[in-house]
Structure 1
């Protein structure tokens, strides 16, 4: 061992010295050789790379030839100059967009990737955010001349579809977009149903180009599903993702960048999503290098579409007149000779008249389109709006709802709890004499056609524009909501502070507020439900969102009819209510016209929910014009209530959007002045400061002494209703509005105790000075 160590010490320095000596002798030839090899490699690569024309300008004509004899290059022979005017050619059928890959140029363009998702239980939302973070890091690693902007993530529940899925977003000219869509599949109605309906309507709308999203660089869809419920795609596994992929292919002129990905979160979703993500990144890298998806490669847009797509693309909406042969069946060759226009029709008629063989019996329908005969589709399965095993059911029940049947609900209002404890009722008692502990808040339809930014149930209640669910009978709903309400009242018997006399009164419902969530008049049997309420002497306040004029026109008597007026113009209404109907503004105005006709049949109310930053600034005159259009009996002006959820923040609503009561008062005075300038007889009648709500009433509801009479004589209302004789709102006008509820007095019921929570303003200055309005007592709650 010692001998070996001695050899290493002797041999190693000698070897190192020889290597250094050789390097000093031959270093120049070595360096020159390496440079020569690198230069040769670069030259070969340069010669092999394709050359592109730097300019599309035609070659100049030869100056030696006369102008009339000059011959343009063949590729420009059929081009027309920009200044030459030619008549516009109009052809039948729908126009196909043929987008070549050469249309997309690269260089200075930036690529913006938009990641869309939909999530009901936040699982897909979390997955989409992690996906976007990983995609963002990988895009930065691409070494291309094209710059990738930071990817953006968008929730399909809170965007305006028109801004993204009719045309690509409007931005700087050098930015091009690429869409990625991640969606789950549910067996209940969610926002995805409305999204699919929007895609279908956009494709079939004759006013819109067949492929309005063709300027996109491409798109791809990934779906999450449950193989336990739907084992295969044919059974419905990831069916909504499949449908989105199909309609996006139509709208983008088949720019499917990467095939549809699907995975089950319980088994293989992570692995499938990783594979899909790698494929999408490869496509994006290819786009950044070449400017297009490529020709003939997977995801180039040449993939075979679904059967529905194939059928639609074969005729493209062209009108065909079918001619049926009686003597023999048509063969495939004979089908090519079908009549396509009136000229062919005339030729066939002439040939038949001249005695040609195989005469044809013409049965022509000039009123419908002819489609190829296909297998009849199975009848659609009518499903429940809120199935018992659905995430929507679980979410609503956690929020305190009792689900009745498959589409109705009932819930205890916080004012009901407050009234039971003698701590005050809501504004309805100050304005109309309705005690909150005897009020049932319910709805026969949990579905709505709006996605208002101030809605407390973002993403949990179903949405839709038409009724496509199972319809529960009104008797079952009526019995169910009453049982659910009484059950919740009974649960409050042990709450500290509940008054025994009010608890006994609460066990007899005297009023029903059809304003819980959703759209009550959406329910097909709403009139029968109202009749059951009135038969038990339960008054009815019905609130609608002014999007269903047909149902509103057929609505029978209610004690008081509300219409939500959340904006004074089209753009503001679109932003704050986010309606699903495309013709939402026309529907809105139609409902106002109906309300104007009803003003002498029943009490009508405009409900204005003021949201700071949305519908307060500079909209007083617009609201005054709407009041002049509908002439309601009352106008309720209420500040928005912020529920403090993250969903509200994602919808654009924060505490900054909640107006102070002083701002509500200023708005009320400005609106009243605007109405008076228009010669309309309206005045401020009552207020409920605790609810941040003020009532403007028509002068029709003043008595002979000029005092406001906004309350309702409910006994008289039922007598008039049961008489079957027509009557007016003035016929069941109640007693005078109490002084404590009138404008300037706060509106708090003097029978109750005003309770301030610890840390709030405990005793107002006026109370300390002994100026207690209406004998109101103030108690500080620890």
Structure 2
């Protein structure tokens, strides 16, 4: 047979197709059917493995075939041999179903249930080691009843690898245990291992490979420093400098988990006593953490004090623990024309206390209901609302004093340390709408008490609890001094001047008795619009009356009183104050507002002083708060007098008083508060035994004697509890800033305090 050529091949294939086409078509159909069956079977298998049956609940159990296939798939995926030999790199495929409800297995595993204290120390001579062992023994003895706190473990900083403890927290022995670092550090004037430790903390903070706060897993930390107050009396000269630096670095590395303020002790004086006090506070902080009460993160609305604002304004290279939170822009408050009729500049010409038609009696309501906008606004400003009409708030000077940055003018004038003082009020309502009020015009107003009356016990207890709660929240604030923090947990003074009118409270005398019962002094401020209440007032440590103007027209423009007979009420209060001058320490409080009550009004104020004869006259420049309420009343920064202008006014007032034969002189000043004190020379300028019989101003109060007189039940007057001579640094011409504290600027840097004013030792 001859081979086929290229042209005969197609004809041969055509003959084969015609001869066997039936078999070929049948075979192709069978092949296609097999392919379709294989594709269908593979799709059914995937659905059985990955999803529940169609139209079934999410948690329905898979069929037996699906469970077998799922088990095979899991075995396949979990086999190391299979993974290494057959898997390909690529994205993982998620299998399973979505859980819609939490289960016990979903519970967080980072809840702190147990605290493990770790005590780190450094010592050259062994004294700090002895302190560490004493601290360990103290904690072990006092926490035996606290099952949530384990036995402290001691570590010598020279015997550990820093990477094991100060790059990340050590791994706990079991879940839900968190470590608490306690560091005891002396300071030396030579190079020691502490320099390497500080360098390690520095490098850890700036290492880009390490998280910003690598020690944030700690439950908290606290540092105590030992220094030599004789050879290195200040931090700049080396006193506890290493402890201060470590405290700052630990704040950065832990994400601000300072559980208790930095403690310091002088090894030549009181190191042991200070360490014991500090340890008690650290122990209490650990108990709070173990019981889920937290560390404390600051108090919103506690004031924008220069002394306390450095944290929010320091650059990244300054001493700041963490980036400051972004400030939220305030939205303008939209008010209708009838939302606050009492916010007009002039008083409403209606006497709410006397009307021709007797109103129908209505059930009293809460002054500040919990769900009201007033309650919300005051709470945002930092107030703790007590019951239905009282409040308490941390003064910005309290925070300043806790950090050793100075107390308010009451310390210079009367010996009241701000960190021992509580600022509160039993009545949030007021009968004035003063143009300079920094309470943002959010407190209620009224001329008569028409609300519920909370019992004095509830008010007193709520004040203390609210104050202490806010103090505890300040323990993590940088710079808070441990010894002052401890002292602040015992209230010694109460300024009843927060907002509103304290004597408006119908049971004010019962509240005063509760305060005095715990030996808490009372400074009460009223606005001279409630003469009957003022006349019925019992003993207070010092009684203030706000004198906002020297004549009727000025008082209408500045105080904006609601009473139609406001001037008559004001003058009656002057007469009542005069009748109490030998029973109470009485004070005129003048707030100077340029353009309102400064120009040519010294003579008018002198007439009022001659009528009431107060023990003291405080003159203070207005503080502008920048609120919409102030702007609506026509108040701006141009109305804030300079200290030189306040000084000039005081000198003019002193001359006007002397021309009337009144023996008032300038006794003290607090330049930082723009405040100057005049006192009755005939009563408070007398020989001083401490100065060899030389005459000195005695504006301070002997609080112990005050309570002795009060408890004796006999009649007594202001002269019976006059205190020690006014401090030299507080006298007129000395500035009035306590030299034991440190004045700082907005960046937290020391600020030089210059002596201002004129005269030394009084005029």
Q: 1:635-667 CA distances to partner (integer Å, 9 max, x unpaired)?
A: 000111111222211121100010000000000
Provide the rounded CA distance (Å) in 2 between the counterparts of 1:521 and 1:644.
28
Give the structure 1 partner of residue 320 of structure 2: none
Give the structure 2 partner of residue 741 of structure 1: 730
Whether contact under 8 Å (2:405, 2:743) holds in the other structure is: yes
Q: Residue 702 in 1 paired to residue 679 in 2?
A: no
> Equivalent residues in 2 for 1:132-151 (5 A)?
none
Whether contact under 8 Å (1:514, 1:540) holds in the other structure is: yes
Provide the rounded CA distance (Å) in 1 between the counterparts of 2:557 and 2:361.
37
Change (3 A) 1:715 1:634: same
Give the structure 1 partner of residue 744 of structure 2: 755
Change (3 A) 1:534 1:655: same
The equivalent position to 1:539 in structure 2, one of 512, 515, 521, is 521
Give the structure 1 partner of residue 566 of structure 2: 584
Give the structure 1 partner of residue 660 of structure 2: 678
Give the structure 1 partner of residue 607 of structure 2: 625
Structure 1 residue 765, shift from structure 2 partner: 7.3
Change (3 A) 1:757 1:677: same
Provide the rounded CA distance (Å) in 1 between the counterparts of 2:685 and 2:454.
42
Provide the rounded CA distance (Å) in 2 between the counterparts of 1:745 and 1:550.
41
Whether contact under 8 Å (2:529, 2:573) holds in the other structure is: yes
Give the structure 1 partner of residue 82 of structure 2: none
Change (3 A) 1:378 1:509: same
Give the structure 1 partner of residue 493 of structure 2: 511
Change (3 A) 1:554 1:436: same
Structure 1 residue 155, shift from structure 2 partner: 6.5
Structure 1 residue 716, shift from structure 2 partner: 0.3
Q: 1:553-580 CA distances to partner (integer Å, 9 max, x unpaired)?
A: 0000000000000100000001000000
Provide the rounded CA distance (Å) in 1 between the counterparts of 2:456 and 2:748.
47
Provide the rounded CA distance (Å) in 2 between the counterparts of 1:760 and 1:624.
41
3-state secondary structure, aligned to 1:695: strand
Structure 1 residue 459, shift from structure 2 partner: 3.0
Whether contact under 8 Å (2:735, 2:753) holds in the other structure is: no
Give the structure 1 partner of residue 118 of structure 2: none
Give the structure 2 partner of residue 156 of structure 1: 341
Q: 1:534-553 CA distances to partner (integer Å, 9 max, x unpaired)?
A: 01000000000000000000
Whether contact under 8 Å (1:157, 1:459) holds in the other structure is: no
Give the structure 2 partner of residue 240 of structure 1: none
Whether contact under 8 Å (1:519, 1:544) holds in the other structure is: yes
Give the structure 2 partner of residue 594 of structure 1: 576
Give the structure 1 partner of residue 294 of structure 2: none
Give the structure 2 partner of residue 416 of structure 1: 398
Q: Residue 485 in 1 paired to residue 474 in 2?
A: no
Provide the rounded CA distance (Å) in 2 between the counterparts of 1:604 and 1:433.
16
Change (3 A) 1:577 1:383: same
Provide the rounded CA distance (Å) in 2 between the counterparts of 1:464 and 1:473.
20
Whether contact under 8 Å (1:545, 1:563) holds in the other structure is: yes
Give the structure 2 partner of residue 215 of structure 1: none
The equivalent position to 2:705 in structure 1, one of 694, 706, 716, is 716
Structure 1 residue 458, shift from structure 2 partner: 3.4
Whether contact under 8 Å (2:544, 2:587) holds in the other structure is: yes
Q: Residue 500 in 1 paired to residue 482 in 2?
A: yes
Give the structure 1 partner of residue 444 of structure 2: 462
Provide the rounded CA distance (Å) in 2 between the counterparts of 1:124 and 1:757.
33
Q: Residue 603 in 1 paired to residue 585 in 2?
A: yes
3-state secondary structure, aligned to 1:753: coil
Q: 1:322-347 CA distances to partner (integer Å, 9 max, x unpaired)?
A: xxxxxxxxxxxxxxxxxxxxxxxxxx
Structure 1 residue 595, shift from structure 2 partner: 0.6
Provide the rounded CA distance (Å) in 2 between the counterparts of 1:533 and 1:439.
12
3-state secondary structure, aligned to 1:557: coil
3-state secondary structure, aligned to 1:452: coil
Whether contact under 8 Å (1:441, 1:516) holds in the other structure is: yes
Give the structure 2 partner of residue 333 of structure 1: none
Structure 1 residue 457, shift from structure 2 partner: 2.0
Provide the rounded CA distance (Å) in 1 between the counterparts of 2:720 and 2:755.
39
Structure 1 residue 728, shift from structure 2 partner: 1.4
Change (3 A) 1:626 1:479: same
Change (3 A) 1:496 1:123: closer
Whether contact under 8 Å (2:342, 2:562) holds in the other structure is: no
Provide the rounded CA distance (Å) in 1 between the counterparts of 2:515 and 2:341.
38
3-state secondary structure, aligned to 1:703: strand
Whether contact under 8 Å (2:398, 2:419) holds in the other structure is: yes
Whether contact under 8 Å (1:451, 1:458) holds in the other structure is: no
> Equivalent residues in 2 for 1:108-127 (5 A)?
125=335
Count of aligned pairs: 422
Provide the rounded CA distance (Å) in 2 between the counterparts of 1:760 and 1:585.
48
3-state secondary structure, aligned to 2:515: helix
Provide the rounded CA distance (Å) in 2 between the counterparts of 1:439 and 1:514.
10
Mean Cα deviation higher: 639-648 or 610-619: 639-648
Change (3 A) 1:559 1:762: closer
Structure 1 residue 761, shift from structure 2 partner: 10
Give the structure 1 partner of residue 182 of structure 2: none
Whether contact under 8 Å (1:612, 1:659) holds in the other structure is: yes
3-state secondary structure, aligned to 1:451: coil
Provide the rounded CA distance (Å) in 2 between the counterparts of 1:682 and 1:543.
22
Change (3 A) 1:538 1:765: closer
Structure 1 residue 766, shift from structure 2 partner: 7.7
The equivalent position to 1:551 in structure 2, one of 528, 533, 542, is 533
Provide the rounded CA distance (Å) in 2 between the counterparts of 1:545 and 1:629.
17
Change (3 A) 1:766 1:565: closer
Structure 1 residue 124, shift from structure 2 partner: 5.2
Mean Cα deviation higher: 697-706 or 465-474: 697-706
> Equivalent residues in 2 for 1:246-395 (5 A)?
379-395=361-377
Give the structure 1 partner of residue 84 of structure 2: none
Provide the rounded CA distance (Å) in 2 between the counterparts of 1:539 and 1:531.
11
Q: 1:147-170 CA distances to partner (integer Å, 9 max, x unpaired)?
A: xxxxxx9973432466xx76xxxx
TM-score, structure 1 as length reference: 0.52
Provide the rounded CA distance (Å) in 1 between the counterparts of 2:513 and 2:494.
12
The equivalent position to 1:521 in structure 2, one of 490, 495, 503, is 503
Give the structure 2 partner of residue 777 of structure 1: none
Structure 1 residue 381, shift from structure 2 partner: 2.2
Give the structure 2 partner of residue 569 of structure 1: 551
Q: 1:77-119 CA distances to partner (integer Å, 9 max, x unpaired)?
A: xxxxxxxxxxxxxxxxxxxxxxxxxxxxxxxxxxxxxxxxxxx
| Structure 1: gaps (5+ residues) | 1-120, 129-152, 167-194, 206-311, 313-370, 372-376, 768-772, 775-782
Provide the rounded CA distance (Å) in 2 between the counterparts of 1:711 and 1:764.
23
> Equivalent residues in 2 for 1:201-240 (5 A)?
none
Q: 1:327-375 CA distances to partner (integer Å, 9 max, x unpaired)?
A: xxxxxxxxxxxxxxxxxxxxxxxxxxxxxxxxxxxxxxxxxxxx9xxxx
Give the structure 1 partner of residue 718 of structure 2: 729
Q: 1:474-527 CA distances to partner (integer Å, 9 max, x unpaired)?
A: 000000000000000000000000000000000000000000000000000000
Q: 1:442-463 CA distances to partner (integer Å, 9 max, x unpaired)?
A: 0000000000000112331000
Q: Residue 444 in 1 paired to residue 433 in 2?
A: no
Provide the rounded CA distance (Å) in 2 between the counterparts of 1:399 and 1:635.
30
The equivalent position to 2:407 in structure 1, one of 425, 429, 443, is 425
The equivalent position to 1:644 in structure 2, one of 613, 626, 630, is 626
3-state secondary structure, aligned to 1:707: strand
